């Protein structure tokens, strides 16, 4: 039965590829969920933060001596690590100068919770960053040229089940994405600051009565969300070509993943992204590539229809 | 300790507090009674800074509290138990208490002590320490709201209608706990209540607030002896 063997082999192949890719999508979704979960702001510039993370990695590796010194593979992971603090600071600055004007305790009490102003601001930011990137970086697609992008690990299946290939750049990126998400989840659930962020999200006024500076929490959340997304971008750049509009390719995945997982749960957002990665890769087994995004949306609509809370929506509130 | 002078607060032109002056000395138990909409919660919100004062002054130990940013005020030793409990529903009971201790940033040993202290007052919170606060009963949530405030070891405790929506038995238990804390820890307490009997019988001094104005003030004996208070608030 060579056919069955082939099916098993290609299913496992698609599953591993989906898990690696889905983990990276998961990290992007987590970036979005941190901002929404704590600030109640939907950030429409999320795709552009991802794009900027990619360009940062590109210029850090190609534009500096990093490549000669550490090689293209190690160099790109050093760039990934470097993008975190840099984009955290960028995020806090954007919050301080722009976001704080249309979000925070004072707008949460208003009729639309400031959502129209936030939509206009983040959408505007996204357009400015896209077109700014076009001017500064040019429209030609570029690549990091990491040596891992075209290398694969071969894993033999038991018996004469053949073997599957795992792209090294995607596997490493996926593993790092999982690691970062776990670290963030531990930070949010165990540390004093993490709990403070959750308290500020849960009841901003009561948090103020505890002496928690909600505006500072929002700044930290925006910085964290920006950094997580940019790090995801830097990871994507290790295997995917970049151009100024690359964010658009991922932004749909981010929103679908976050809605799947429940808008304000970090773990849920990660699972949402992971599911999308797996569905996308598995659907390639039976559907032409052009229909992969359609497959994502079919799953998405099914979940929205049957479980509007998302797969992991919280039901903790009694009142 | 707390001194409020000619404080006025407006909500979009509507006067909610009109030249209110209130004082609480170190270790005192102050009761503020008044009907719905009198401005009692507004007074506490002005102290905590979640509503702005239109005019007047609020000082704590001689320093101008209005000049202190709202989230920094608890760091000066004020704890506010808001009307309607406002616990963090998605956090565990223990984490809610930990948030109350935010200004102290306690180390492990100190934190254990704090937990023991509030668990001794409200043993039910020890049983439910890992439960999400949103799943507690109303009475338990009120106990948690008070425990959370006490965890910060405040010098001034503001309590806004802690008996609201509770059965008489649970309300009595809560009043007893407040008394205990006031007596054993010497904490200054300002209690806003509609249950005037309980509030006035535990206080040293009290104020009657009606339509944003202080209409009467005095010692416990003065207020309990006042004809109008007896008629309107004590119902006898
Ligand atoms: N955010 C607000 N906007 C407009 N008016 C308000 C606001 N909050 C309170 N008010 C008004 O201010 C007045 C005082 O309200 P406050 O909540 O302080 O009363 P209270 O004495 O605490 O009443 P209760 O015993 O019912 O809690 C009321 O007339 C109320 O309608
Ligand atoms: Mg009130």
Contact (Cβ atoms closer than 8 angstroms) between residue B84 and residue B162:
no
Q: How many residues does chain B have?
A: 236
Q: Does residue A113 form part of some domain? A: yes
Distance from CA of A307 to the nearest CA of B (A): 20
In a domain, A313, yes or no: no
The CB of B36 under 6 Å from ligand 1? The reply is: yes
Could you tell me if A231 and A27 are in contact, meaning their C-beta atoms sit under 8 angstroms apart? Answer: yes
CB atoms within 10 A of CB A301: 11
Which listed ligand is nearest to B38 at the C-alpha?
Answer: 1
The reply to whether A314 falls in a domain is no
Closest A-chain CA to B73: A211
In a domain, A252, yes or no: yes
- ipTM of this model? 0.95
pLDDT digit string (tens) for A230-285? 999 999 999 999 999 999 989 988 988 988 887 778 899 999 999 999 998 998 88
Range of the domain at A279: 2-153+162-306
Residue B175 to residue B154: CA distance in whole angstroms = 18
| pLDDT for residue B99 | 97
Query: Residue A257's Cα: distance from chain center in Å?
Result: 9
At A316, the pLDDT band (50, 70, 90 cuts) reads very low
How far is residue A318 from each of residues A164, A209, A273, B197, measured CA to CA in Å?
A: 48, 23, 29, 32
Reduce the DSSP state of residue B84 to 3 states and report it. Answer: coil
* Average pLDDT of the segment spanning B115-134: 95
pLDDT of residue A295: 82
Q: With contact defined as beta carbons under 8 Å apart, do A233 and A52 qualify?
A: yes
CA distance A178 to A270: 9
CA A111 to CA A311: how far, in whole Å?
A: 29
- CATH of residue A266's domain is 1.10.3470
User: What is the arithmetic mean of pLDDT over B159-168?
Assistant: 92
Q: What's residue A1's pLDDT? A: 52
Please indicate, yes or no, if residue A312 is contained in any of the structural domains: no
Q: What angle do CA A95, A224, A183 make, to 5 degrees?
A: 170
CATH (residue range B1-75+195-236): 3.40.50.300
Please enumerate residues of A whose Cβ is less than 8 A from a Cβ of B: 192, 195-196, 198-199, 201-203, 205-215, 314, 316-319
pLDDT digits (tens, 9 = 90+) for A77-108: 999 999 999 999 999 999 999 999 988 888 77
Pocket-testing residue among B8, B40, B52, B213, ligand 1, by greatest number of atoms within 8 A of Cβ: B40
What is the structure's pLDDT at A146?
A: 78
Query: Does residue A70 contact residue A146 with C-beta atoms inside 8 Å?
Result: no
Q: With CA atoms as reference, report the closest residue to B32 among B4, B52, B59, B64.
A: B4
Segment holding A62, helix H or strand E: helix A46-62
What is the C-alpha separation between B79 and A210, in angstroms, rounded?
A: 7
Please give the tally of structural domains in chain A. 1
In total, chain A counts a number of residues equal to 319
Average pLDDT, chain A: 89
Candidates B7, B31, B34, B39: which one to mutate for ligand 1, based on the most atoms within 8 Å of Cβ? B39
Q: Work out the minimum CA distance from A170 to partner chain B, whole angstroms.
A: 35
Which residue's CA is the nearest one to ligand 1's atom 28? B37
Confidence of residue A164 (pLDDT cuts 50, 70, 90): confident
Half-sphere exposure of B41 (CA within 13 A, CB side): 14
């Amino acid at each position: 039965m060579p056919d069955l063997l082939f099916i098993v082999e290609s299913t496992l192949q698609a599953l591993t590829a989906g898990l690696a890719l889905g983990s990276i999508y998961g990290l992007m979704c987590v970036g979005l969920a941190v901002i929404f979960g704590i600030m109640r702001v939907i950030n429409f510039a999320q795709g552009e933060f991802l794009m900027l993370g990619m360009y940062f990695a590109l210029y850090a590796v190609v534009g500096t001596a990093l490549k000669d010194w550490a090689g293209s593979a190690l160099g790109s992971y050093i760039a990934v690590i470097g993008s975190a603090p840099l984009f955290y600071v960028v995020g806090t600055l954007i919050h301080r100068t722009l976001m704080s004007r249309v979000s925070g305790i004072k707008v949460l009490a208003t009729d639309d919770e400031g959502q129209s102003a936030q939509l206009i601001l983040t959408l505007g930011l996204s357009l400015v960053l896209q077109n700014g990137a076009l001017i500064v970086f040019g429209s030609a697609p570029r690549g990091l040229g990491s040596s891992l992008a075209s290398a694969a690990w071969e894993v033999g299946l038991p018996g004469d089940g053949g073997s599957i290939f795992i792209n090294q750049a995607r596997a490493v990126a996926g593993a790092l994405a999982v690691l970062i998400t776990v670290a963030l989840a531990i930070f949010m659930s165990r540390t004093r600051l993490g709990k403070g962020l959750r308290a500020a999200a849960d009841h901003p006024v009561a948090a103020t009565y505890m002496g928690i500076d909600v505006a500072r929490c929002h700044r930290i959340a925006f910085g964290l969300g920006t950094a997580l997304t940019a790090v995801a971008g830097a990871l994507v750049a290790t295997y995917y070509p970049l151009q100024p509009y690359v964010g658009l390719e991922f932004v749909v995945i981010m929103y679908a993943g976050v809605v799947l997982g429940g808008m304000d749960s970090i773990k849920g957002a990660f699972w949402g992204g992971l599911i999308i990665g797996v569905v996308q890769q598995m659907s390639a087994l039976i559907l032409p590539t052009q229909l992969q995004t359609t497959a994502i949306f079919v799953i998405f609509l099914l979940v929205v229809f049957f479980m509007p809370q998302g797969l992991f929506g919280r039901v903790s509130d009694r009142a | 300790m707390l001194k409020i002078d000619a404080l006025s607060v407006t909500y979009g032109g509507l006067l909610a507090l009109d030249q209110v002056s209130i004082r609480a000395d170190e270790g005192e138990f102050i009761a503020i009674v008044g009907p719905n909409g009198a401005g009692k919660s507004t007074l506490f919100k002005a102290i905590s800074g979640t509503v702005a004062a239109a005019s007047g002054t609020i000082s704590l130990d001689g320093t101008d509290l209005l000049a202190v940013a709202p989230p920094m005020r608890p760091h000066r030793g004020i704890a506010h138990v808001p009307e309607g409990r406002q616990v963090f529903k998605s956090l565990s009971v223990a984490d809610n208490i930990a948030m109350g201790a935010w200004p102290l940033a306690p180390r492990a040993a100190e934190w254990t002590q704090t937990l023991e202290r509030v668990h001794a007052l409200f043993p039910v919170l020890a049983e439910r320490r890992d439960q999400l606060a949103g799943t507690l009963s109303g009475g338990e949530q009120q106990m948690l709201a008070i425990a959370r405030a006490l965890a910060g070891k405040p010098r001034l405790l503001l309590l806004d209608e802690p008996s609201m929506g509770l059965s008489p038995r649970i309300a009595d238990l809560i009043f007893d706990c407040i008394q205990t804390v006031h007596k054993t820890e010497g904490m200054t307490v300002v209690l806003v209540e509609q249950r005037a009997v309980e509030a006035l019988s535990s206080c040293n001094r009290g104020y009657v607030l009606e339509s944003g104005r202080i209409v009467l003030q005095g010692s416990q004996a003065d207020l309990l002896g006042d004809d109008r208070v007896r008629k309107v608030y004590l119902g006898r």
